[in-house]
């Protein structure tokens, strides 16, 4: 049975995880380019933790300039089996108030300027995104939120917009008409790439504001968002720390097939595959490529 390794991609507020021991920052190179930063590797209650700041320390990269492929590839190279994404977002529903955590289970991708796949000409693959998050990982986060007495909602749709500007009132109302729960700029193509890399994935969406639709809150207030982020940092630390402390030491197979997503996804015949692309896929698709070889 495979040892579980919990990866965390996030930003300000969770650099210092409660109980993280023997931690160090390590540079990990990727054939897909430079990741956002070095990774911080340590252990919580014996469980290996790999943390990557999505925007880089000091918030260097905008949502559109993050190298999502390199970030996920680096996580895979570090042995991550389960990946928890923590990201700030706006609320598109009254009940998801600022300060709440929404554990989303669906995504709508409206980004347009990002590389969204490890595969392409020379090695074509199509993975299913019908169930984009790992149910067991979501259950673990929900149990941790309950144990810590945190306000959360399980389930919902995350609308991923390109940014970096916030949405107009018309856009906000459109996304509400689609039934979306929260809106953010960073979970796509992150979730798609995690699926291609056969990493179990889940999102903790930290609500910072009501986007621009709410009649009592008006347009997005950056200062208010930053205040909520700072106020909620301790809760985010507690949540992630509790997930890690209670997480199973052995990786459990995903009922949604996250950890076997490539099993029947690769379409290009073995003798037609581009060796240069295959070399870059050594970590992401290593399990399936080793079977083919």
Q: Which residues are annotated as a binding site for phosphate?
A: 12, 54-55, 87-88, 186
Q: Which residues are annotated as a binding site?
A: 12, 54-55, 87-88, 185-186, 209-211
Judge whether residue 12 has pLDDT over 60: no
Asked, for residue 39, whether it belongs to a domain, the answer is no
Look-up of token digits 């984009």 = 132
Residue 62 token pair: 């905008």
Asked, for residue 156, whether it belongs to a domain, the answer is yes
Query: Which residue among 37, 82, 209, 259 is the active-site one?
Result: 209
Asked, for residue 68, whether it belongs to a domain, the answer is no
Asked, for residue 73, whether it belongs to a domain, the answer is no
Give the percent of the chain with pLDDT over 70.
Answer: 94
Asked, for residue 75, whether it belongs to a domain, the answer is no
pTM recorded for the entire structure: 0.95
Asked, for residue 74, whether it belongs to a domain, the answer is no
How does pLDDT run across 79-116, given as a tens digit for each residue? 999 999 999 999 999 999 999 999 999 999 999 999 99
How does pLDDT run across 136-168, given as a tens digit for each residue? 999 999 999 999 999 999 999 999 999 999 999
For residue 99, give its domain range.
Answer: 86-292
181 is an active site residue: no
211 is an active site residue: yes
Residue 242 token pair: 């509790």
Query: Which residue among 211, 259, 274, 282 is the active-site one?
Result: 211
What is the total count of domains within the chain? 1
Q: Which residues are annotated as a binding site for substrate?
A: 185, 209-211
Asked, for residue 257, whether it belongs to a domain, the answer is yes
Q: Which of 119-123, 173-177, 230-234 has the lowest mean pLDDT?
A: 230-234
Asked, for residue 150, whether it belongs to a domain, the answer is yes
Residue 12 token pair: 């300000």
Output the domain CATH number for residue 135. 3.40.50.1580
């Amino acid at each position: 049975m495979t040892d579980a390794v919990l990866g965390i991609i996030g930003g300000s507020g969770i650099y210092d995880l409660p109980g993280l021991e023997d931690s160090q920052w390590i540079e990990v190179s990727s054939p897909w380019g430079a990741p956002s930063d070095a990774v911080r590797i340590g252990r919580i209650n014996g469980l290996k933790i790999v943390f990557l700041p999505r925007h880089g320390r000091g918030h260097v990269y905008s949502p559109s300039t993050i190298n999502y492929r390199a970030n996920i590839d680096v996580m895979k190279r570090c042995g991550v089996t389960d990946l928890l994404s923590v990201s700030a977002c706006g609320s598109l529903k009254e009940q998801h108030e600022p300060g709440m955590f929404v554990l989303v289970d669906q995504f709508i991708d409206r980004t347009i300027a990002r590389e969204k796949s490890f595969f392409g000409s020379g090695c074509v693959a199509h993975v299913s995104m019908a169930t984009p998050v790992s149910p067991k990982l979501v259950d673990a986060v929900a149990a941790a939120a309950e144990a810590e007495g945190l306000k959360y909602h399980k389930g919902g749709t995350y609308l991923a917009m390109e940014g970096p500007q916030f949405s107009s009132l018309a856009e906000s109302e459109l996304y509400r008409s689609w039934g979306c729960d929260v809106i953010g700029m960073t979970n796509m193509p992150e979730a798609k790439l995690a699926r291609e890399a056969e990493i179990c994935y889940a999102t903790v969406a930290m609500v910072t504001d009501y986007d621009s639709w709410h009649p009592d809150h008006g347009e997005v207030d950056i200062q208010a968002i930053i205040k909520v982020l700072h106020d909620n940092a301790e809760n985010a630390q507690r949540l992630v720390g509790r997930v890690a402390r209670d997480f199973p030491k052995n990786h459990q197979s995903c009922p949604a097939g996250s950890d076997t997503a490539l099993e029947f996804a690769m379409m290009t015949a073995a003798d037609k595959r581009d060796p240069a692309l295959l070399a870059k896929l050594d970590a992401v698709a290593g399990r399936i490529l080793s079977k083919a070889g």
